[in-house]
Homo-oligomer: A and B are copies of this chain.
C-alpha cells in the first residue's frame, strides 16, 4: 500500500483529508457567480488549473478552458498522466509554492457538473442488492433472474437528469397503482428512495466491441452516484421494458472525479464466480477497488445518522466488465458516458444501499435517533453519500454526494 505524499499545502497532509496529494481529483468550480472553471482538489483548496493553462504553466490545447473535463478526457491517457505527474511534482514538498496564488478555498467555491454527461447507463450488479430486490419483487425462489450470473444487466438511463451534488431534488409525480387498487392514479411518489452507487466515467471513445482490459483503460475516473428512484412508479411501469420515469427525476453525482490512477493502489478482485463467465468478460487482473461507502440521512433541522455502510468491492461485475459488455453489440461509446455501478449492498442489513432494502419494502422501518421512522424519504430529508479508499496513513476520498428532497410540485 502506498504512503502519503507530502505537499507544501498543509491541509493536504492530514490523515483524514479526502484530498491528499495522492488523490488530485478533477472538478468544475466557480466563485462569486463567475463561470465554471476546471480545478483540482488539494487538501481544503482547489488549484485553478484553468488559470494555470492560461498562464502557460500547463498546456493542453485549451482543454482546461471549457469549464468542465470532457475535452481534457478526450485527449487520452498520455495527457491524463502528464497532468497528474506535473501536479504531483508542483504541489509536492519542494514544489512550486508560487502556485499558492492559484489556490481557492473549497469553502468559497460553488461546484458544477465536472463533465458533460453524454449518456447515462445504470447497471444492476451487486449480488446482495439484486437478491434483496428480487426477493421482494418476485419471491425468494425467483430472486436472481436466470441471466444475472451471466450478464452485467444494465439499462439506459437519462443523462439530462444528472445533477451535481447539492442540487435540490423535487419529489416526482407519476402513475401509481398499488396491488389492491383497481386502477392507477396520478400523484406524488410515496416511496421515493436513494440508490448508493459508484459512477464510472468513460474518457475515451470506442465504436466496436472492446475487451475488459481496453474498457478499463478507457475509464478516466469515478464519482459517487445516487440514482434517486421512485419505487411505486417503478413497480407499476417497469414491465416489460424496464424502469423509465421512476429513474428520470434526478441522478446526483459527487463533484470530484477521482481518477483511476489515484485508485490504482486499492485494486481488488471481483468475487469467485458462481458459474463461469463467457470469455469476453474475463478480467486481466483485479478490476474492482476497495472503497468504503456510507449513506447519511439528515431530517429537516435535524442531525445526520449514518444508515448504511458498504464497500465497492461487493460488486459482482466491475465497471470494466460493464463497459466491455456495453460494447458487444457494436454500441458506440463516447467521452463523458456515465456508467452507474448499480446499487451496492453488502451481506448484512446495515450494508444495504437503498431504503427499499433497509426497510424491506417498508415492512421494517428504520428508527432515527429523533424517534421518527423512515421507510422511504420524507420531504425535507437530506441524503448524503460518502466514499473513500483507506491507506494506512491517508485516504483517497470522493467528498460527498448530497441532495435534499423538496415537496412535490403542487
Contact = CB atoms under 8 A, between A and B. Distances in A.
A158 interface: yes
A238 B237 contact: no
A243 interface: yes
B186 A331 contact: no
A343 to B, nearest CB: 12
Contacts of A279: 186
Contact of A409 (B118, B145, B160, B208): B208
A346 interface: no
B154 A244 contact: yes
A119 B118 CA distance: 9
A86 to B, nearest CB: 32
B160 A333 contact: yes
Nearest to A169: B330
Interface stretch (A30-38, A54-62, A96-104, A321-329): A321-329
A341 B138 CA distance: 30
Contacts of A159: 119
A172 B333 contact: no
Contact of A248 (B118, B151, B331): B331
A173 interface: yes
A89 interface: no
A155 B155 contact: yes
Contacts of A233: 329
The oligomer's copy count stands at: 2
B331 A170 contact: no
A241 B124 contact: yes
A204 to B, nearest CB: 14
Contacts of A119: 119, 158-160
A153 interface: yes
A158 B236 CA distance: 24
A1 interface: no
> Chain A interface: which size bin?
35 or more
A192 B159 CA distance: 28
Contacts of A145: 239-240
Given A249-B329, A278-B186, A326-B245, A151 B175 contact: yes
A250 interface: yes
A134 B240 CA distance: 9
Contacts of A328: 172-175, 186, 245
Question: Mostly helix, strand, loop or mixed at chain A's interface?
Answer: loop
Contact of A332 (B161, B245, B325, B331): B161
Interface string A181-200: 00111100000000000000
Contacts of A334: 160
Nearest to A250: B330
A286 interface: no
A201 interface: no
Contact of A275 (B157, B183, B245, B333): B183
Interface string A366-379: 00000000000000
A124 to B, nearest CB: 6
A240 B242 contact: yes
A332 B242 contact: no
In this complex, the member of A145, A278, A329 whose beta carbon has the largest number of chain B beta carbons within 10 angstroms is A329
Nearest to A138: B240
27 contacts: A119-B158, A124-B240, A147-B177, A147-B236, A147-B237, A150-B184, A151-B237, A154-B241, A155-B244, A156-B244, A158-B331, A160-B333, A161-B331, A172-B329, A172-B330, A173-B328, A173-B330, A185-B278, A186-B279, A186-B328, A208-B409, A240-B242, A245-B325, A245-B329, A248-B326, A248-B329, A248-B331
Given A238-B241, A250-B330, 10 more contacts: A153-B241, A155-B241, A156-B158, A158-B331, A160-B333, A160-B337, A170-B330, A186-B328, A241-B242, A245-B331
Give 3 nearest A-B pairs by CB, closest first. Answer: A242-B242, A248-B331, A156-B156
